[in-house]
Amino acid sequence: MMCHMREFLRSFWTIGVSVLLLGAAACSHPEAEPAFAFSDEWSGAVPNAGFITGVAAVDGGFVALAESYPQNGAAQIVRMDRAGHAAWTLSGAFAGLGAALVADPAGRLFLAGSLQQPTTVGTAHLSAPSYPAQFVMALDATSGAVSWAKSYSAGGFAYGAHLAADAHGVVIAGQFGGTLLVDGKTLTGGSTYVMRLAADGKLVSVRALGSSSLGSLQVGGLALSPDGDLFLTGSFYGIANFGDGPRASSPGGSVYLVRLAPDGSLRWARHYAGSASFEAQFFGGGIALYGAAQAVDLGAGVPLQGAVLAELHGDGSYQWSHTLKDTHMYSYGFNGVAHGEVLDASGHLVIFNARRVPVELPTPEMPYPSSYVTERRLLAVDADGSAAASLDLGTLPSGTTPLIMPLAAGADGAIVMGLNEESYDPQNGGPPVLTSRVRTVRLVPSAN
């Protein structure tokens, strides 16, 4: 395992080298060329797009979800082929408190968003008894036609949809306050809801994961296993109850991981000391967590700090982990050190990482960097945690910040990523400027 870790860190952070060198001198086996490489397909702008917050890989192209910039609640979804031609566009006021997009294995699209007022998306007229509210709809990826749509509201608020889909339907998780009304069912006393809908939109299950008045609970990511179980991860502070009784976080907060059966019943719940913002993906027979961590102990007895990739068994016990860092690099827990992950058609976990590198090393007089560049990289990971392929996405100059980078993978092997970069001029002032585009690549056998 230590050998794998050295291989991973060395291959990932050899900046400027497009071909990974797997195997470090201290390992007992010789260096080997990677079996895979990323191959570029297309890169370009989405028409009239602002901030790209979601992508989905579909047959022959992709669908992008873009919110207005500066954000004012307006959003659009655009279907494009891999030559950059737009096939259809739907727009509406549905992104005030976040929106999400996902495709199921058959290419059906699911869109979730927030409502501050009634709005229309395609042929769907969306409204709710109270606002803010949430909605979810199914779309045909080829035509953009709405298959079904439903909205649901809370007596206080509802926001922050996270999505995961499989052949049986879609799962939505988010936050709510007060009471949540879904298809005649009322949830109370919780801060997080988890709802499963069948492919035709019928409600399968809905439940609350609660925190008391002494605590708070947030959703970070969710993933579906092949047998339909749901893994939900996030953070909580104070007292939380996942259905097996109240539990207390560590003083600075804790990370939770919950496994729910397809009917919404609890299989088990675990929590880990430390705070983090993790995304989740079913991978290698277990659950992969990837994100920015602050002193999180996932069961190895060693706190993890910075950008972390970890694999847990199906029961939540520790398997392996890697910390993506270097002694001369500075990773920040805000602004997305680790932005996204996706499982590609070849079974590799594909992750994106960005980290800030100071232009000048700290000194006693200047302990924090005053200027920095940002290095970005896409990485494919094998089930044992070793690196299978790496792609340098370029270095951003000081004053330019990478924002959220959504990732999606298609059944045909295409990987779609949304690139968002915000630039500002601290000397001359003025509002920040956003540059966004979509880039598609493919993981192919290495020519070496």
Instruction: With beta carbons less than 8 A apart as the criterion, state whether 374 and 394 touch.
Output: no
Residue 16 pLDDT: 22
**Residue whose entry in the numeric block shows the structure tokens 């179980």:** 229
Q: Point out which residues pair with 139 in neighbouring strands.
A: 109, 146
pLDDT digits (tens, 9 = 90+) for 351-379: 888 777 777 776 777 777 667 888 888 88
What's the DSSP call for residue 360?
Answer: S
> Which one, of 81, 55, 83, 51, lies nearest residue 66 by Cα?
51
> With 60 as the cut, is the pLDDT of residue 417 above it?
yes
The pLDDT mean for the chain works out to: 81
The structure tokens listed for 343 are 């499982």
Quick check: helix, strand or coil at residue 388? strand
pLDDT band at residue 8 using 50, 70 and 90 as cut-offs = very low
For residues 6 and 10, give the distance between their C-alpha atoms in angstroms, rounded to a whole number.
6
pLDDT of 44: 94
Q: How much is the pLDDT for 341? A: 59
What does the block give as tokens for 294? Answer: 């602050």
Q: How many whole angstroms from its chain centre is CA 377?
A: 16
State both tokens at 113.
């968003």
Among candidate residues 108, 273, 131, the one with its CA nearest the CA of residue 199: 108
Q: Hey, what are 240's tokens?
A: 């939380």
CA 413, distance to chain mean position in Å, is 19
Strands 169-177 and 192-198: antiparallel
Question: Following DSSP, what letter does each residue of 197-219 receive, concatenated?
Answer: EETTS-EEEEEEEEE-TT-EEEE
Partners of 198 in the beta sheet?
169
Give the span between the Cα atoms of 166 and 225, in whole angstroms. Answer: 9
The whole-number average pLDDT for the span 66-93 is 90
120-128: average pLDDT: 89
Band (pLDDT 50/70/90 cuts) for residue 19 is very low
pLDDT of residue 83: 86
Rounded to 5 degrees, what are φ and ψ at 4?
-60, -40
Q: Convert the pLDDT of each residue in 129-157 to its tens digit.
A: 777 788 999 999 999 999 999 988 777 77
> CA 219, CA 211: separation in Å to the nearest integer?
12
Q: What is the pLDDT of residue 431?
A: 86
| pTM of the predicted model as reported, rounded to 2 decimal places | 0.86
pLDDT at 192 over 80: yes
Instruction: State both tokens at 275.
Output: 């705070």
The answer, yes or no, to whether residue 325 has pLDDT greater than 70, is: no
Instruction: Yes or no: say if 84 and 44 are a contact pair by the CB < 8 Å rule.
Output: yes
Structure confidence at residue 155 (pLDDT): 72
What's the Cα-to-Cα distance from 242 to each of 208, 214, 232, 271, 279, rounded to whole Å? 8, 15, 11, 10, 19
342: confidence class by pLDDT, cuts 50, 70, 90: low
| Beta-bridge partner residues of 281 | 288
Task: Give the confidence band of 39 by pLDDT, cuts at 50, 70, 90.
Answer: very high
- Token duo for residue 325: 């860092």
Average pLDDT over residues 311-325: 89
